Amino acid sequence: MPLPPAPTKRAALLSPDALDAPARSSHRGSRRSGDSRADEAAARSPQPLELFDSVGAESAGGAAAVRPARRTRPKATPAPVSAPAPQALIQVETKAPAAEPAAAPAVAAAPQAPARAKRSKSTGPAKLFVLDTNVLLHDPMCLFRFEEHDIFLPMIVLEELDGHKKGTTEVARNGRQTSRTLDALAAAQDADIDKGLKLDTTGHREAGGRLFFQTAPLDYSLPMSLPQGKADNQILGVVHALRDEYAKDRPGQPKREVVLVSKDINMRVKARALGLAADDYQNDKTLEDGDLLYAGSLALPADFWTRQSKTVESWQSGSSTFYRISGPLVPNLYINQFVYFEAPGEPSMYARVTEIRDKTAVLKTLKDYSSGKNAVWGVNTRNREQNFAMNLLMDPEIDFVTLTGTAGTGKTLMALASGLTQVLDDRRYTEIIMTRATVSVGEDIGFLPGTEEEKMGPWMGALDDNLEFLAKGDGGGAGEWGRAATNELIRSRIKVKSMNFMRGRTFLNKYVIIDEAQNLTPKQMKTLITRAGPGTKIICMGNLAQIDTPYLTEGSSGLTFAVDKFKGWPHGGHITLARGERSRLADFASDVL
C-alpha cells in the first residue's frame, strides 16, 4: 500500500522497553476512567471541571430527567454527600452561579470535553414520576435512575408485577428482581411507607429521592370511553389524581410536576390526550441517536501533513511504518481507531492508532489484505473498511472485535475466513464457536427436534452459505473427494451453540462469533462476553437497522452498548462497514427499501 513521503526529521528506533510499554487508551475512551487517568486528564485540561456536580440532574425537562448523569469526575473533586436531600443538592450546584455561564462554553470548546455538552442541574422542586409496570419489567434498576426526583407506584402496578413473576423468561426474572428490590427498601432501618422510602438506603447514592406507594384510594374521573377495570386506565386515573393534588401550593406540600413514565406508546398517547405529562424511559439508551455511534475510523483532513500535525517522526519496524504525530487532532483519537489520508494526486495512507501519550499519538500502517498474496482463506478485502476489519480480526493482540454494517458488507464471511485461518493454519485457537440470538423475523415455526446443534441449524443459514463459499474457494482442483474432506475438516472445528445455555461456561482458546448481536440486550451481551477465558477472541456482528427484539432500538441495543463501552480499550476494536459487496441488487435494496 503506498505511503506518504517520509518527513525530514526521523527518530531512532524505539527501545524494546518503549515498545513493550502498555499502551494507554484515550482519556475520552470511557466514562468511568480510573483515578490515574482522571488525574492526567485533569492536569492537562485547564478548564475547571469541578464546577459540574457529579450527582446533579442533567435537565429540568421530563425526558432529560429520566436519563442518568454521565460525567467523568476527576479525583480531586470532593466526593458526593451520602444520601443528600434535594435542598442540599441545590445548594451544592448553586455555589458559583456567576461562573457557570462563562465556564460552560469554555469546557465545551476544549478538545478534552465529552461529545455531549453538560447541562446544569434543575433548581426547581423535585418531580414525581409515576412508573408503569413495563418500565420495572424492562429495567429492574430503574428505581435508582431518577436522581433527586421521587417515584410513585400505583397499587395496580404491584398487582401486575406479581402476575409476571413466574417463569424462566427475562421478563419474569426482572419481575422477581424488582420485587426483591422493593422488599429491601421496605425492610430498611427507619423505613416509613407513609413518608416515602429513601431510595439511597440500599447503597445507591445517586438516587436522592423517595419511593411512594399508593396506600389509600384516590379520587379521579376519566372519560366514560375508557373502561374503568383496565390496568392502564387505572394508572392513568392515579396520575390524574396526583396531578390535581400537586397542582397548587399547600402548607408542607409544594407544587410539583407529575409525569407518567411508560414504555408503552399507546399509554403515553392516551395520557397526553387527557392532558397528562408522559415520557418514555430513556435510561436504557446508550446513545440518543444512532448516528452518534463510534465508527472506528476517521478521515484525516487534507492539510494534515502541512498544518494539522506540527511535527512528525517516523521509523520502520519490520514491514510496518510508524508515525508519531501531534496537534489538535490527537485529543479526538482513540486507541485502535483507524485513520486514513486520501487526497487527489497524493499518496494515500491507512494506519491504526497504537499509542496515545500526553499530546502525541503513534500511528502504525496496516497490512494490505486486498492483495492476492495476503489472502485470508482465499478471501481478499474489496474496500477500505473491510481491510480495516481484517486487520482487527487477524491481530492476536485484539481480544474483542465489533463489526456493524448493512446487509452484504461481508461481516460473517470475513469473521469465518479469519477464524478458519487462525484455527486450522496458525493453530492459534482450538475451535470456532458460533451462536446468535434466536429471534424470528416472522411467526415462529414451532418446536424443533434434535440435539442442541440440530435445533440451531435453521438459525445458522448464514454460516452454511459462507462455509460453502469458503470450502469451494479452498478446494482448488482437489476434486469431489478433496472438497468433501475439506468440508468435513471445517465442520469438525466449528461448534454451533445456543445462547440459552451459556451462563456458567468458560471458553479457553476459542474463537467465538456472535452473529445478529443487534438483537441482544446489554445484559445478554455482558453474559456472553464474560464467558471469555484466557486466549479467547470474541467477534460481535450485527446490523443495527434490522432489530427484531421488542423494546430494543438502535440506542438501547446490546451491540451499541458494547461498541460504546469498549471504544479506546487497547485490546478491542470496532469498524462500521460502509459498502455492501454481496451484489448490486442487494446494495441497491439496502439503499432504497
pLDDT digits (tens, 9 = 90+) for 140-158: 889 998 888 999 999 999 9
Length, in residues, of the chain: 593
CA-to-CA dists, residue 298 to 351, 470, 563, angstroms: 10, 31, 16
Q: What is the pLDDT of residue 377?
A: 86
Q: What is the pLDDT of residue 31?
A: 40
Q: What is the mean pLDDT of residues 101-126?
A: 43
**Interval 81-101: pLDDT, tens:** 333 333 333 333 333 333 333
Q: What is the pLDDT of residue 309?
A: 64
DSSP at 507: B
Hey, what amino acid is at 36? S
Instruction: State phi, psi for 513 to the nearest 5 degrees.
Output: -115, 120
More confident residue, 110 or 350: 350
Q: What is the pLDDT of residue 485?
A: 67
CA-closest candidate to residue 552, choices 513, 525, 589, 591 = 525
pLDDT band at 23 (very low <50, low <70, confident <90, very high): very low
Q: What is the pLDDT of residue 585?
A: 86
Q: What is the pLDDT of residue 571?
A: 95
Q: What is the mean pLDDT of residues 464-491?
A: 66
Contact assessment for residue 205 and residue 83, using Cβ atoms and an 8 Å cutoff:
yes
DSSP at 316: E
Q: What is the pLDDT of residue 483?
A: 63
**Interval 184-217: pLDDT, tens:** 999 888 888 888 899 988 888 888 899 999 988 8
Whether 427 shows a pLDDT value over 80: the answer reads: yes
Whether 305 shows a pLDDT value over 50: the answer reads: yes
Q: What is the mean pLDDT of residues 349-376?
A: 92
Write down all domains in the chain, each with its CATH number in brackets: 128-280 (3.40.50.1010), 297-365 (2.40.240), 385-439+453-589 (3.40.50.300)
Contact assessment for residue 498 and residue 452, using Cβ atoms and an 8 Å cutoff:
yes
Average model confidence (pLDDT) across the chain: 76
> Of the ranges 174-188, 236-250, 301-315, 541-555, which one carries the lowest mean pLDDT score?
301-315
Q: What is the pLDDT of residue 362?
A: 94
Name the one residue in this structure whose C-alpha cell is 421496605.
Answer: 186
Q: What is the mean pLDDT of residues 240-246?
A: 91
Contact assessment for residue 290 and residue 552, using Cβ atoms and an 8 Å cutoff:
no
> Concatenated DSSP letters for 240-301?
HHHHHHTSS-BTTB----EEEE-S-HHHHHHHHHTT-EEE---TT-S-S-GGGS--SEEEPP
Rounded CA-CA distance 396/537 in Å is 8
Q: What is the mean pLDDT of residues 405-425?
A: 89
Q: What is the pLDDT of residue 489?
A: 78
pTM of the full structure: 0.66
Instruction: State phi, psi for 15 to the nearest 5 degrees.
Output: -70, 160
Walk across the sheet containing 210-213 and list its strands.
197-198, 210-213, 150-153, 128-131, 258-261, 277-279
Exposure string for 454-470, b = 16+ CB within 10 A, e = fewer: ebbeebbebbeebbeeb
Beta strands in 310-415 (DSSP E): 313-317, 320-326, 338-341, 349-357, 360-365, 400-405
Tally: H helices and E strands in the chain: 18, 18
Rounded CA-CA distance 567/29 in Å is 6
More confident residue, 4 or 81: 4
Q: What percent of the chain has pLDDT over 90?
A: 32
What residues contact residue 155 under an 8 Å CB cut-off, 6+ apart?
A: 213, 214
Contact assessment for residue 557 and residue 579, using Cβ atoms and an 8 Å cutoff:
no
Whether 479 shows a pLDDT value over 50: the answer reads: yes
**Interval 429-476: pLDDT, tens:** 999 998 887 655 444 545 566 665 666 666 556 666 777 777 765 545
Is the C-alpha dihedral spanning 301, 303, 306, 307 positive or negative? Answer: negative
pLDDT band at 12 (very low <50, low <70, confident <90, very high): very low
> Of the ranges 18-22, 340-344, 468-472, 487-491, which one carries the lowest mean pLDDT score?
18-22
Quote the distance between the C-alpha of residue 194 and its chain's center: 39
Q: What percent of the chain has pLDDT over 70?
A: 70
More confident residue, 581 or 55: 581
pLDDT band at 43 (very low <50, low <70, confident <90, very high): very low
